[in-house]
Amino acid sequence: WTDFERATIKDIFSKIDYECNLFKCSCFLRCLIVYPWTQRYFAGFGNLYNAAAITSNPKVAAHGKVVMQGLEKAVKNMDNIKATFTELSTLHSEKLQVDPDNFMLLGDCLAIVVAAQLGKDFTPEVHAAFQKFLAVVVSSLRRQYY
Ligand code: HEM
């Protein structure tokens, strides 16, 4: 990581307000709405019938927060993301059996939310740093798959 990349990633995550809908659930709920096949893993979450149901589903909001907190661990361990996500990767692979192609879909939703939040501060350089961070996260989550 360059100094700029480190500072950018930390700055983006420092702006996350977990009680605010924007980050708490909008990345995850956007993923469920835009890529509806991802809903199949959340059968226990109740009503995911349409965008309105997904948006007002408290389990979706709660899980959105869990995912963001998982990502925050990566931010705190930027030099060791692969090891940080070993257990999480095993969980998604062996227990949850999530198709790993879905990870970047959630990452793309996150990038859209961050871009909307930062506005003109989401420069090409910031975008590149964020995309690199997402790529490392996704490759770490894929690592325990076989
Ligand atoms: C659970 C993180 C992507 C499906 C979790 C948990 C975390 C997490 C921290 C909780 C683990 C625990 O309870 O110990 C992430 C991160 C992702 C990601 C950082 C990518 C950036 C996905 C995707 C899917 C998925 C794309 C499916 C399309 C699930 C499911 C659970 C889960 C089904 C269990 C939910 C429950 O029943 O409570 N994830 N996840 N995850 N994740 Fe992911």
Q: What pLDDT, in 10s, does the model give residues 12-65?
A: 988 776 655 555 557 898 999 999 999 999 999 999 999 999 999 999 988 988
Looking at ligand 1, which atom is closest to the CA of residue 40? 28
Among the listed residues 34, 30, 40, 101, the one whose alpha carbon sits nearest the alpha carbon of residue 67: 30
- Spacing, Cα 27 to ligand 1 middle (Å): 13
Looking at ligand 1, which atom is closest to the CA of residue 42? 33
Structure tokens that stand for 30 in this block: 């956007």
CB distance 41 to ligand 1 below 6 Å: yes
The predicted-structure confidence for 63-77, as pLDDT tens digits, reads as follows 988 998 899 999 999
CB distance 34 to ligand 1 below 6 Å: no
**Nearby residues of 136 by Cβ (< 8 Å), 6 or more positions away:** 74, 81, 82
ipTM exceeding 0.85, yes/no: yes
Report the C-alpha gap between 36 and 50 in whole angstroms: 9
- Residue in the block written with tokens 């109740």: 46
- Spacing, Cα 67 to ligand 1 middle (Å): 6
* Predicted TM-score (pTM) of this structure: 0.93
